[in-house]
Amino acid sequence: MSNLLTVKEAAELLGVSTKTIRRWEEEGKITATRTPGGHRRFDVSGLIANRKDDSLTVAYARVSSNEQKEDLKRQVIVLESYCAKNGWSFEVIKDLGSGLNYRKRGLIKLIKLICTNQVERLVITHKDRLLRFGTELLFTLCEIFGTEVIIINRTEDSTFEEDLAQDVLEIITVFSARLYGSRSHKNKKIVEQLKEVAKGLK
């Protein structure tokens, strides 16, 4: 199997658009070879090596639902202020979706950036903003690829009971949405009832 990638494959590897790949090649930031037909081809190892110098800080923010969009805005403000205060060049990645969902667009982009040595540090407001389960696996990836992890609010971690209540709420919410449809009246009613139960567990 050839380790030469097309423009589209190179873009997917680095988590950017094909337009960005072409621009980087024109600017000399990455190099490409040409096929007999004149198409660009990129070497995998060359792409990764050439992008190491552009390491940046990634700030990741996530909420579970549309109802929490104000919280998402607050997270972004805190992250931007923290990164700017430290003088870091940074990018904010935002996700809207359950912490049980491993296929969120922003999370996938973050993992691609980490695994291509482009992230010098990862900044989050709380540990559970990444995932409800599996956070340690992502932290291990960061360790392997030399990405520093900064959790701003370590001292404000929730209690075991609060975590358990939130986990149960998210699990049942996901299954309820799949069973009845995320916008159905029945699903919304179940979610509201679950929220009341969860409040009582905290």
Catalytic machinery residues: 64
Nearest-angstrom CA–CA distance, 6 and 32:
10
Other Cβ atoms less than 10 A from the Cβ of 175: the count is 11
**Which of 126, 104, 134 lies closest to 59, judged by CA?**
126
- Residue indicated by tokens 């389960």: 133
Residue 142 identity (one-letter amino acid):
C
CA angle 14, 19, 25 (to 5 degrees): 75
